[in-house]
């Protein structure tokens, strides 16, 4: 298949066609995640967490200079009780791709036509809010292996596998439950497989980029696991739309991802599914079969991004500037997956962590703080 093993697929980012192991955020049998700061012994006592509470909207006021400024947040709990939290410095929205979009809309930060039809007063009229919604698409393809113990299934599903693995983990934290169960993966470009397609060859392209506006170092599909292949379609042509049907903060958004509306998307995705079958079965189903399978079984990867994208000052659809600040409003920033202008070519976890770290550095720099770092008993300035 020409998918070679690459020991480190992530540090160099030089190969978009190969296989390897995913970096896992787990150590000594324990998985770590971004919420660990809540339960960590080193947690900051200045952090206050309100549960069962919705962010209704940002309070915006015009200051003496005529600038529109964010100075606090209106909250609503699950009983309908409302409250207000005043900001001392700035307001930072980090509610995710759908949540941050909803907060901006309820605050009057979206196209005037869309907010006013919900009875919301328009504050600024940025056309790009919610117009860049993206997500990966996936199809799970399961295969039964003939070689015993080839996969990890026997450690959990076969006779006494689960009880044995659980006992091992509860004793010393080794084995199946000590690690993330998925990890083998591959990236593929599909260049040679698509080269005879008239649709592919006739698709427009820009300088140094391919028909999907990708560079040669960016993959077009990703494959997960053994022996469940889950081809992930990484980039799509049709920009979807996220919207809301009311100004109620408890309402879920109405989302139209417009999956597979473009025949070009189906072409590339079905080719990726054919490749997965070749890996597992040493043969391929036809593309026509996979078109039917994809239309019946494709699902979201739940990697949504892009509804509050940052961008160049000349981009009318950029919601944020390069410092993650909402254009046209002072002291309002967004820091989550919604800020990415294009979809991450893989799983977004580390990219979102990076956005958060960068946002923290920007805030620290602007307010002039000096963070002290303790190393082996000595204290040194971080910035």
What H or E segment, with its residue span, contains residue 72? strand 68-77
- Residues 365, 372: Cα–Cα separation, whole Å: 14
Enter the pTM of the model: 0.84
Q: What is the pLDDT of residue 382?
A: 44
Q: Do 198 and 143 fall into the same domain?
A: yes
Task: Answer yes or no: is 206 within a domain.
Answer: yes
Confidence (pLDDT) at 290: 87
Q: Is 23 exposed, middle or buried (0-12, 13-18, 19+ CB in 10 A)?
A: middle
Looking at 285, 300, 315, which one is the last position of a domain? 300
Average pLDDT over residues 46-65: 91
Per-residue model confidence (pLDDT) at position 145: 80
Q: 304 — phi, psi (to 5°)?
A: -65, 145
Pair (71, 160) in one structural domain: no
Domain extent, residue 271, equals 18-34+135-300
Give the full edge-to-edge strand order of the sheet including 68-77. Answer: 53-62, 68-77, 82-86
Q: Is the pLDDT of residue 103 over 90?
A: yes
* 5: in domain: no
Same domain, 287 and 171: yes
Looking at the fold, whether 126 and 275 belong to one and the same domain comes out as no
Summarised one tens digit per residue, pLDDT across range 280-339 is 777 656 778 889 989 998 988 889 999 999 999 999 999 999 999 999 999 999 999 999
Same domain flag for 183 and 94: no
The answer on 290 and 177 residing in a single domain is: yes
| pLDDT digit string, tens, across residues 341-383 | 988 877 888 899 999 999 999 999 888 766 555 555 454 444 4
Q: Is residue 167 domain-shared with residue 277, that is, in the same domain?
A: yes
CA distance 348 to 303: 7
Query: φ and ψ at 20, to 5 degrees?
Result: 180, -155
Kind of pairing, strands 332-334 and 91-93? Answer: parallel
If one counts the domains in the chain, the total is 2
More confident residue, 101 or 183: 101
What pLDDT score does 240 carry? 60
Residue 182 has pLDDT above 60, yes or no: yes
* Backbone dihedral region for residue 53 (phi beyond 0: left; psi -120 to 50: alpha; all else: beta): beta
Higher-pLDDT residue of 291 and 1 is: 291
Is 13 a member of any domain? no
Quick: pLDDT tens for 56-92. Answer: 999 999 999 999 999 999 999 999 999 999 999 999 9
Reply yes or no on whether the pLDDT at 3 is more than 60. Answer: yes
Q: Encode pLDDT of 191-210 as tens digits.
A: 888 989 999 888 888 888 88
- On whether residue 41 sits in a domain, the answer given is no
What are the pLDDT digits (tens) for 211-263?
888 888 888 888 876 666 666 776 665 556 667 888 999 988 888 888 888 88
Radius of gyration of the chain (CA): 24
- Are 283 and 338 within one domain? no
Domain boundary among 282, 300, 318: 300
Q: Residue 140 maps to which CATH number?
A: 3.30.560.10
- Quick check: is 278 in a domain? yes
| 325 shares its domain with 355 | yes
Is 7 within the bounds of a domain? Answer: no
| Integer Cα distance of 6 and 131 in angstroms | 37
């Amino acid at each position: 298949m020409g998918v070679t093993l690459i020991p480190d697929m992530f540090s160099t980012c030089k190969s978009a066609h190969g296989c390897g192991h995913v970096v896992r955020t787990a150590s000594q049998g324990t998985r770590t995640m971004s919420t660990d700061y809540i339960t960590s012994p080193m947690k900051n006592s200045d952090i206050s967490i309100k549960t069962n509470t919705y962010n209704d909207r940002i309070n915006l006021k015009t200051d003496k200079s005529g600038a529109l400024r964010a100075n606090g947040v209106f909250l609503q709990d699950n009983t309908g009780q409302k409250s207000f939290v005043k900001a001392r410095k700035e307001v930072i929205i980090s509610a995710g791709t759908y949540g941050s979009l909803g907060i901006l809309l309820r605050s009057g930060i979206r196209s005037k036509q869309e907010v006013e039809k919900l009875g919301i007063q328009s504050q600024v009229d940025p056309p790009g809010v919610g117009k860049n919604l993206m997500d990966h698409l996936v199809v799970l393809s399961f295969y039964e292996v003939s070689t015993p113990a080839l996969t990890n299934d026997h450690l959990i599903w076969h006779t006494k596998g689960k009880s044995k693995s659980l006992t091992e983990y509860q004793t010393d934290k080794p084995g199946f439950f000590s690690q993330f169960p998925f990890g083998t993966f591959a990236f593929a470009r599909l260049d040679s497989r698509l080269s005879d397609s008239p649709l592919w060859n006739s698709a427009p392209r820009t300088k140094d980029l391919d028909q999907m506006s990708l560079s040669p170092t960016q993959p077009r599909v990703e494959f997960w696991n053994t022996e469940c292949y889950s081809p992930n379609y990484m980039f799509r042509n049709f920009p979807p739309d996220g919207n809301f049907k009311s100004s109620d903060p408890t309402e879920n958004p109405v989302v139209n991802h417009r999956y597979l509306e473009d025949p070009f998307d189906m072409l590339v995705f079905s080719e990726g599914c054919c490749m997965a079958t070749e890996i597992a079965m040493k043969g391929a189903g036809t593309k026509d079969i996979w078109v039917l399978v994809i239309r019946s079984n494709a699902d979201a990867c739940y990697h949504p991004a892009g509804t509050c994208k940052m961008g160049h000052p000349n981009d009318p659809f950029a919601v944020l500037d390069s410092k993650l600040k909402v254009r046209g409003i002072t002291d309002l920033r967004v820091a989550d997956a919604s800020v990415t202008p294009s979809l991450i070519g893989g799983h977004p976890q580390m990219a979102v962590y990076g956005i958060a770290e960068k946002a923290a550095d920007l805030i620290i720099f602007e307010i002039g703080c000096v963070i002290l770092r303790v190393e082996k008993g000595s204290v040194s300035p971080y910035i």
